[in-house]
Amino acid sequence: MKQLLLFTLGLLPVLYLSQNNPPVIFEALTGNRGFASQMTINKGFQDIKGLGFFSVANISSKWSEEVSKDAMIQANLTFELVKKIRLVGGMHYTPATGLRPTGGLLYSLTVKNFLFTINPRFIGFSKSSIAEGFLLIEYKPVINDRWQGYSRIQALYSETIKDGEHARSYLMVRVGVSYKVITFGLGGNWDRYGPYKESKENYGIFAAFRLFH
């Protein structure tokens, strides 16, 4: 219930953000091991130059689970320091670590149909702090006036600062096509947890919807 509440609260800032920049993207993957969803928000405020909101929320569960045990939700305010580089600060939530403060930098580069985003950050500011890196690469070649190709690589790696042990990592791959506000195709998620890198894989079909243009 807490995960769903945090996931929903992530949409509230959209009411106060400019609708004339990148849309909110909601994606769902149905795979051989379970169901996974992701919501991404990367928008600027209407009346405050340089100030924005960036959020990535992931929730996934196995088919055998009645309640999802795997969630990673971050919600941040951003401020543009120089062109394409923003200061990021906010909160980060997982069931294992709870709600913790986070801060870092966000770099985004868009060239025609190519997007590159990298977000190094720290989670928590204590002996149990975590250093984390987030990477997103998208390529959307034009097929014709209605259709686009779609491919994405999204990766995350985090480790504890105190001892350098692996905390959490994942790799997401998507390949498909886009028509108007809908993208669909094939996808795979590879997840690793804890110092022993316990693994979980999920392969299947995905669909994504672009909202609040």
* Alpha helices (H) along 135-191: none
Strands (E), the chain: 24-31, 34-44, 51-62, 70-82, 85-94, 98-111, 114-123, 130-139, 147-160, 166-179, 182-193, 198-211
Q: What is the pLDDT of residue 213?
A: 65
Give the model's confidence band at 128: pLDDT under 50 very low, under 70 low, under 90 confident, else very high.
confident
Which pLDDT score is estimated for 132?
Answer: 95
Which tens digit of pLDDT belongs to each residue from 69-86?
A: 788 999 999 999 998 999
Question: What is the pLDDT confidence band of residue 17, given thresholds at 50, 70 and 90?
Answer: low
Whether the pLDDT of residue 207 is over 80: the answer is yes
Q: What angle do CA 173, 176, 182 make, to 5 degrees?
A: 110
Distance (Å, whole) CA 148 – CA 64: 36
Q: Is 125 exposed, middle or buried (0-12, 13-18, 19+ CB in 10 A)?
A: exposed
For the record, the structure tokens of 51 come out as: 């100030």
pLDDT of residue 125: 78
Q: What is the pLDDT of residue 96?
A: 80
pLDDT of residue 103: 95
68 pLDDT band, cuts 50/70/90, is confident
Cα separation, 95 vs 89, whole angstroms: 20
**What whole-number distance in Å separates Cα of residue 86 and Cα of residue 129?**
22
More confident position, 3 or 145: 145
Give the pLDDT score at 33. 93
Which is more confidently placed, 114 or 43? Answer: 114
Evaluate if residue 7 carries a pLDDT over 70.
no
Higher pLDDT, 116 or 11: 116
Spell out the domain ranges in the chain.
2-211
Q: How far apart are CA 15 and CA 111, in angstroms?
A: 28
CATH 2.40.160.40 fits 2-211, yes or no: yes
- Least reliable range by pLDDT among 4-8, 36-40, 174-178: 4-8
Q: What does the pLDDT average to over 36-46?
A: 89
Write down how long the chain is. Answer: 213
Closest CA to 58 of 7, 97, 12, 20: 7
**Rounded-to-integer distance, Cα 43 and Cα 87, Å:** 14
